[in-house]
């Protein structure tokens, strides 16, 4: 039996009526950009997250980029983040004109190590950008304490962690801004590119809304009408084309009511994996006390990772090696920053051992297939 890494077709068929209805509603409306579906999604997503404001944008990358700009980050500034993330996290910092400053990660959660942040702060540091990797929240309390002491903004990269919770609060609501990807493979995935930013600060939300729509003023949008169009073409800045279109907004709206149910299923599958893999010479995913891990990926640490991966592939089982090797600080694109192997030892060590196993809500007997294949190539402890 082949086991896909994800199964978007199965997800579609589980929600076919709702998704087909959403797509038909948009097409029949004739309104495809900046319409009622976007307005409704923003209201519903903010309510789900427990935030005052949500802004739909064109991608998770766009959410990060515009959030940084809305927090006043620009040339000459420094932003602290981690090297074990996808390129969009750090590219967004570069897009803003700021400099990337990396901090090593906690060996259990793979998230930024709060104890190592303060040593990297300089007079140019303006923000901390923690990543909630694979759906496990970063340790936000000490991060926020450091940020408060040094008057820094905190932008949460929650692109892999929609619905995750830290001490009862949804990720994205703890810092100044939370950023999400709505790409198809994400847990709240559109059928194309999409993203969202949430915040409790009205001025940040308004700034992102201006930036996503070419720099049009909010006043211009509010005075526009179907019959006359905008009264005045007022641009207040040079913005971007980072709008969440109506089709994608409608699709994620159709999926949002069942998101918690699907996250619960992911957590159940992770629990089954944990039990079945007990006793094997590998490290299972860690879940810290007082957090809710949503398992965007079920990522193990295993020796001879490539040999294990090849064996699983021979059995028709898809796996992923996310964001490594090598991690970002050793990638050619960042050679100009002058980092060398050994600069971030925890990141480098886990990069050589990380392997993500299939996990999606529709998995059933496939879990046993994956575990059986692992037992054939991973010895007991």
Q: What is the CATH number of domain 8-258?
A: 3.40.640.10
Q: Which residues pair with 177 in a beta bridge?
A: 155
* pLDDT on residue 381: 81
* Cβ(172)–Cβ(178) below 8 Å: yes
Q: How many CB atoms lie within 10 A of CB 268?
A: 14
Please count the residues of the chain. 381
Other Cβ atoms within 10 Å of 186 Cβ, number: 19
How does pLDDT run along the chain (381 residues), one tens digit per residue? 699 999 999 999 999 999 999 999 999 999 999 999 999 999 999 999 999 999 999 999 999 999 999 999 999 999 999 999 999 999 999 999 999 999 999 999 999 999 999 999 999 999 999 999 999 999 999 999 999 999 999 999 999 999 999 999 999 999 999 999 999 999 999 999 999 999 999 999 999 999 999 999 886 555 555 655 666 678 999 999 999 999 999 999 999 999 999 999 999 999 999 999 999 999 999 999 999 999 999 999 999 999 999 999 999 999 999 987 899 999 999 999 999 999 999 999 999 999 999 999 999 999 999 999 999 999 988
Please answer whether residues 254 and 230 qualify as being in contact, where contact means their C-beta atoms are separated by less than 8 angstroms: no
Cis previous bond, 325, omega within 30: yes
Task: Establish whether domains 8-258 and 259-377 are of one fold.
Answer: no
User: pLDDT value at position 243?
Assistant: 97
Residue 228, token pair as written in the block: 């006359």
SS3 call for 357: strand
> Domain spans of the chain?
8-258, 259-377
Of the candidates 65, 71, 45, the residue with the CA atom closest to the CA atom of residue 56: 45
Q: How far apart are CA 244 and CA 38, in angstroms?
A: 7
| Correct CATH for 259-377 of 3.30.230.10, 3.40.50.300, 3.90.1150.10, 3.40.50.410 | 3.90.1150.10
What element of type H or E holds 345? helix 345-351
Intra-chain end-to-end CA distance of the chain, in Å: 27
Q: Is the dihedral of CA 182, 186, 187, 189 positive or negative?
A: positive
Nearest to 245 by CA among 190, 180, 177: 190
- What is the number of helices (H) and of strands (E) in the chain? 13, 13
CB of 83 closer than 8 Å to CB of 89 = no
How many CB atoms neighbour CB 285 within 10 A?
A: 23
pTM of the model: 0.95
pLDDT at site 247: 98
pLDDT value for 28: 97
> What are 281's strand-pairing partners?
none
Report the pLDDT value the prediction gives residue 221, as an integer from 0 to 100.
56
The sheet that has 298-302: what strands, in order across it?
Answer: 282-283, 298-302, 354-357
What's the confidence (pLDDT) of residue 182?
Answer: 98
DSSP state of 320: B
Quick one: tokens of 81?
Answer: 């983040």
């Amino acid at each position: 039996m082949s086991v896909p890494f994800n199964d978007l077709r199965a997800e579609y068929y589980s929600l076919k009526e709702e998704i087909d209805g959403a797509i038909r509603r948009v097409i029949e409306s004739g309104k495809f950009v900046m319409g009622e579906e976007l307005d409704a999604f923003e209201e519903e997503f903010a309510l789900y997250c427990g935030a005052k404001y949500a802004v739909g944008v064109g991608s998770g990358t766009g959410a990060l980029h515009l959030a940084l700009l809305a927090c006043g980050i620009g040339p000459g500034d420094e932003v602290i983040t981690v090297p074990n993330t996808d390129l969009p996290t750090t590219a967004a910092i570069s897009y803003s004109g700021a400099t990337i400053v990396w901090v090593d990660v906690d060996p259990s959660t793979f998230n930024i190590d709060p104890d190592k942040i303060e040593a990297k702060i300089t007079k140019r540091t303006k923000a901390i950008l923690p990543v909630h990797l694979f759906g496990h929240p970063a340790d936000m309390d000490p991060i926020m304490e450091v940020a408060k002491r040094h008057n820094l903004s905190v932008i949460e990269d929650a692109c892999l962690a929609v619905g995750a919770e830290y001490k009862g609060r949804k990720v994205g609501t703890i810092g100044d801004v939370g950023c999400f990807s709505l790409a198809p493979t994400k847990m709240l995935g559109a059928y194309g590119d999409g993203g969202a930013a949430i915040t409790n600060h009205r001025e940040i939300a308004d700034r992102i809304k201006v930036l996503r729509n070419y720099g049009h003023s909010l006043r211009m949008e509010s005075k526009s009408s179907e019959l006359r169009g905008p009264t005045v073409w007022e641009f207040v800045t040079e913005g971007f084309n980072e709008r969440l279109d109506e089709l994608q907004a409608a699709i994620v709206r159709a999926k949002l009511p069942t998101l918690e149910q699907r996250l619960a299923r992911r957590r159940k599958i992770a629990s089954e994996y944990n039990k079945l893999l007990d006793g094997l010479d590998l490290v299972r995913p860690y879940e810290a006390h007082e957090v809710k891990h949503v398992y965007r990926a079920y990522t193990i640490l295993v020796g001879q990772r490539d040999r294990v991966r090849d064996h699983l592939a021979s059995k028709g089982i898809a796996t992923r090696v996310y964001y490594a090797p090598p991690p970002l600080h050793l990638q050619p694109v960042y050679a100009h920053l002058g980092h060398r192997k050994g600069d971030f030892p925890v990141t480098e060590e886990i990069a050589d051992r990380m392997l993500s196993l299939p996990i999606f809500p529709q998995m059933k007997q496939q879990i046993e297939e994956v575990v059986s294949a692992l037992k054939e190539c991973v010895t007991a402890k």
